[in-house]
A and B are shown apart, each in its own frame.
Chain A
Amino acid sequence: MRDMRALVIDDSKAMRMILGRLLKTVGFEVSEACHGRDALEKLGDGPPVDLALVDWNMPEMNGLDFVKAVRGSGNHAAMKLMMVTTESELARVQAAIEAGADEYVMKPFTPEVLKDKLVQMGFGA
């Protein structure tokens, strides 16, 4: 079985570092993108990705527009999308889920919360 691959999309390098480290502990090979457009480019020429963690507030292309673009394209249909964001109002969560996000984690989070979500999504033990 090939390694699981994850893409961390966040405009904060600190957050990419934190999320990337956590994903590596559960066995992911991790790459990074600093906004939605950067992520679309990296998905375009890279190997298939199993999971993308998506921030909401980013320059160039925000996380919601990224989710809409990916789900609207029909490409990467097997890729799970998890929003990881400070946007926590119910309306925002609903908008992300309607656009095609699979999971939603609110910042700030503890590593345990994120790991539990990954397990619920079928990643990690």
Chain B
Amino acid sequence: MSAALLRAIDPAPVAWAAAVGSALEQVASTALELPVTRIGAVGAPEGPVLGAYIAVLTPGESLQIGIVADAASSETLVRALLRIAESEELAPGDVPDAFGEIANMVGGVAKAAMSVQIGVVGLGLPLVTTGLIAAREGIELGYEAVEVGAARVTLVVARSRLR
């Protein structure tokens, strides 16, 4: 597909945001068994956060799809995924690993939804880190606040066009 054609059918960032939000709803209802409330578009979250990101590469753009949360909220999601009660100890390393797998599932579902329109070519491996993707020229960043059970998380979509 030509670059010009790709530009003409550029799925708006809202399409990605919607796909990522529905993907989280699907992951929450199956793998986490937690209810989801979508709060809506917000600014970048403040304070220390854990972020799990997955790279999606399409014919026309490169994306990072992320889920970020503070320590308490990321632990809530991880406990839900692993079915580990509050009273039980989490092993060291379990939170980043499981949080990364949540991002992997969210990215996979969003990618599948978007590929119908644009032919997605690849999904990377999850990267878990503290902090946010830095804003810089050429990167379009969008955030959506979502409540997942008792956890408050922010979904991140960072897009850059390939030229």
A contact set with B: CB distance below 8 Å: 11-15, 17-18, 57-59, 85-89, 106-110
Contacts and interface: CB of A to CB of B under 8 A. Distances in A.
B26 to A, nearest CB: 7
Interface of B: 26-27, 30-31, 78, 81-83, 93-94, 97-98, 100-101, 104-105, 107-109, 111-112, 115, 120, 123-126
12 contacts: A12-B104, A13-B98, A57-B123, A58-B125, A59-B125, A86-B104, A86-B111, A89-B112, A107-B105, A108-B27, A108-B105, A109-B30
A48 to B, nearest CB: 29
Contacts of B98: 12-14
Given A18-B82, A108-B27, A109-B30, 18 more contacts: A11-B125, A12-B98, A12-B100, A12-B104, A13-B97, A14-B94, A15-B101, A17-B82, A18-B81, A18-B83, A57-B104, A57-B123, A57-B124, A58-B125, A59-B125, A107-B31, A107-B108, A108-B26
Tell me whether chain B's interface is mostly helix, strand or loop, or mixed. helix
Contacts of B93: 13
B24 to A, nearest CB: 10
Contacts of A85: 108
Contacts of B126: 12
A28 to B, nearest CB: 18
A15 B100 CA distance: 10
A57 B125 contact: yes
A17 B82 CA distance: 8
Nearest to A91: B115
A87 B97 contact: no
B119 to A, nearest CB: 9
Nearest to B122: A57
Contacts of B94: 13-14
Contacts of B111: 86
B82 A86 contact: no
A59 B30 CA distance: 26
Nearest to B31: A108
Given A12-B98, A13-B97, A57-B125, A86 B109 contact: yes
Given A13-B94, A18-B82, A57-B125, A88 B112 contact: yes
A17 B143 CA distance: 31
Nearest to B100: A12
Contact of B82 (A14, A58, A89, A109): A14
Nearest to A17: B82
Determine which residue in A11, A17, A86, A87 has the highest number of CB atoms from chain B within 10 A of its CB, and name it. A86
A12 B82 contact: no
Nearest to A15: B101
